[in-house]
Amino acid sequence: MSNTDLVLSFIRAWENKDTQGVLDGLAPDAFYHNIPMEPLKGTAAIKEFVAPFLDSAKKVVWEVHHIAENSDGTVLTERTDNFEMADGKTISIRVMGTFELKDGKITHWRDYFDLAEFQNQMA
């Protein structure tokens, strides 16, 4: 399975609201930086961030506009991450994501997005 396929499987876990599936795609000591927020290290810290957000969403759809894998296996995604929240709000976040993988697991995951755009939709 290519790294692109692994990242797409990781995205499907998000869309299925499968917290354990999301964590299974990560190396135990994975580094996640949801820029401009503070970075997280390790699946326990990432779960603490991801689980409440997934639990509060009714529906998750990540539209992948472009995906590319370079020769070292790094996968880049241009996406719109859509969340239909339990309170009726819909959040759409434009994201550029970078995934570095080793031995079939994501070791480094960085998402770049506009925090103000996200906060305005959450208000």
Which residues carry out catalysis?
81, 111
Distance in angstroms (rounded) separating the CA atoms of residues 103 and 110: 18
The token pair that represents 79 in the structure block: 């996406």
Distance in angstroms (rounded) separating the CA atoms of residues 116 and 119: 5
User: Count of alpha carbons within 13 Å of 114, Cβ hemisphere only?
Assistant: 10
Phi, psi torsion values for 57, nearest 5 degrees? -100, 135
